[in-house]
Structure 1
Amino acid sequence: MKIDAFRLKSLPIAFSVAIGALALNSAAQQPAAHSMQGGGQMSNVDAHAATIHRLYEECLNQGRTDLLPELVTANVVNHTGSNEQRGLAAFEQGMQQVRAMYPDRHFTVDDVLANGDKGAARWTMVATNTVPILGVAPTGRQLTNHGVVFYRFEGVKIAEVWIQVDQLGVLRQIGVQIPGLPAKAGAER
């Protein structure tokens, strides 16, 4: 199947929001100890990294969206390319869309960086393609996707999110022919 640039731009918001919604390492892969400041309190940098880890492991992987108010501000802004969602309800809806699109998804955080009121994560998601993407029927095959997410914090809560996801990689895995790129090996339908 071939796809034009216009259709590529209109990739469902659920895909962009959901995938980017946030992804990090499981609690078992978190650093064993956080550096402490002064009176034994966790530094902001360590608290930000811990917030990111909880968001991905507990909310995205385990589906515990009830924990979002502990991790995200009420007026969180989620920037996804040309789209922007505001507020906790929209953020939670994005996560629910990811769960619906990829019920068996699992995020692994490959890297987490934090500095001042900013943080970043590079992640890998593995999931089975069980719903149509851009009108392409589900393949039933396992997909692997990669993304980078940048965060801004207010206190220890996430206040803003900027997401970059490898959408072309997913499209190629489901057999979409991208103009100017060779066909992906193993993507035949």
Structure 2
Amino acid sequence: MSATSVDPTDDKATCLRAMEIMNAGTVEDFAEVYTADALDREDHEHPPLRGPEGLHRSASRLRAAYSDMRWDVHAVVQDGDLVVLHATMSGQQTGTATAFKPGGEVAAVFPSRGRTFSVTQTHWFRMEGGKIAEHWANRDDLAMCRQLGWLPPTPAYIVKMVRARRQAQRAAKV
């Protein structure tokens, strides 16, 4: 996506900007498009963070795991206070990806195998006063897992995953 100048009355442009800043935006950039108490229903880290800081934390986690991340938006529709984007996310896993259970417990850790991926997603945004108050998504995680070589895992990769998960769990207790 190219840089977007956001008109505060244009909810679709605000949501496009939100996707754009996932790859390189600062907390200040997130504050321009998200309400102070915005809820990201995709964030299961602990402690839960709302608002621009929470969304920036999610973006930082994705940035640490995937390089060359991008979202190609195919369609944007709005109905009342809901804006929906259909997109393809792509990138390369160059770092470790961590999945969390609701409540913040580490569920799984996926060390990088250096592979690329391209999967479809639908992002839902609830708007409030020209900013995003809530976000949730439907993603093709199964296709992503297969493309990144997480599924089916080889025995050697299972060992790497178990070691990485134990390390992440120990780090979370500190």
TM-score, normalising length: structure 2: 0.68
What is the distance in 2 between the residues matched to 1:65 and 1:87?
Answer: 10
How much has 1:137 moved relative to structure 2? 4.0
| Residue 67 of structure 1 pairs with residue 29 of structure 2 | yes
Corresponding residue SS for 1:147 = strand
What is the distance in 2 between the residues matched to 1:71 and 1:149?
Answer: 15
What is the distance in 2 between the residues matched to 1:96 and 1:81?
Answer: 12
Q: Give CA deviations for 1:46-105 in whole Å, capped at 9, x if unaligned.
A: x10010111122x12343442111100000011129787533221110011111111221
Find the counterpart in structure 2 of residue 125 from structure 1: 89
- Unpaired runs of 5+ residues, structure 1, are 1-24, 31-41, 179-189
Q: Is the contact between residue 74 and residue 87 of structure 2 (CA under 8 Å) also seen in structure 1?
A: yes
Greater relative contact order, per chain length (Cα 8 Å cut-off, separation 6+): 1
Letter paired with 1:70: E
How much has 1:27 moved relative to structure 2? 4.6
Q: Which residue of 7, 10, 16 corresponds with 1:53?
A: 16
Q: Is the contact between residue 88 and residue 120 of structure 2 (CA under 8 Å) also seen in structure 1?
A: yes
How much has 1:121 moved relative to structure 2? 0.6
What is the distance in 2 between the residues matched to 1:108 and 1:130?
Answer: 20
How much has 1:123 moved relative to structure 2? 1.1
- Given the superposition, is the C-alpha separation of residues 54 and 167 from structure 1 closer, same or farther in structure 2, using an over 3 Å criterion? same
What is the distance in 2 between the residues matched to 1:87 and 1:69?
Answer: 8
- Given the superposition, is the C-alpha separation of residues 122 and 85 from structure 1 closer, same or farther in structure 2, using an over 3 Å criterion? farther
- Unpaired runs of 5+ residues, structure 2, are 98-107, 154-174
Find the counterpart in structure 1 of residue 162 from structure 2: none
How much has 1:156 moved relative to structure 2? 0.5
Q: Which residue of 26, 41, 52 corresponds with 2:2?
A: 26
Aligned length: 139
- Given the superposition, is the C-alpha separation of residues 85 and 150 from structure 1 closer, same or farther in structure 2, using an over 3 Å criterion? farther
What is the distance in 1 between the residues matched to 2:24 and 2:96?
Answer: 23
Corresponding residue SS for 2:113 = coil
Corresponding residue SS for 2:67 = coil
Find the counterpart in structure 2 of residue 108 from structure 1: 72
- Given the superposition, is the C-alpha separation of residues 90 and 43 from structure 1 closer, same or farther in structure 2, using an over 3 Å criterion? closer
**What is the percentage of aligned positions where both structures have the same residue?**
28
TM-score, normalising length: structure 1: 0.63
| Residue 146 of structure 1 pairs with residue 120 of structure 2 | yes
What is the distance in 2 between the residues matched to 1:71 and 1:64?
Answer: 12
- In terms of fraction of residues, the more strand-rich structure is 2
- Over the aligned positions, Cα root-mean-square deviation in angstroms equals 2.7
- Given the superposition, is the C-alpha separation of residues 151 and 129 from structure 1 closer, same or farther in structure 2, using an over 3 Å criterion? same
Runs of 4+ residues deviating >2 angstroms = 25-28, 61-66, 80-88, 131-139
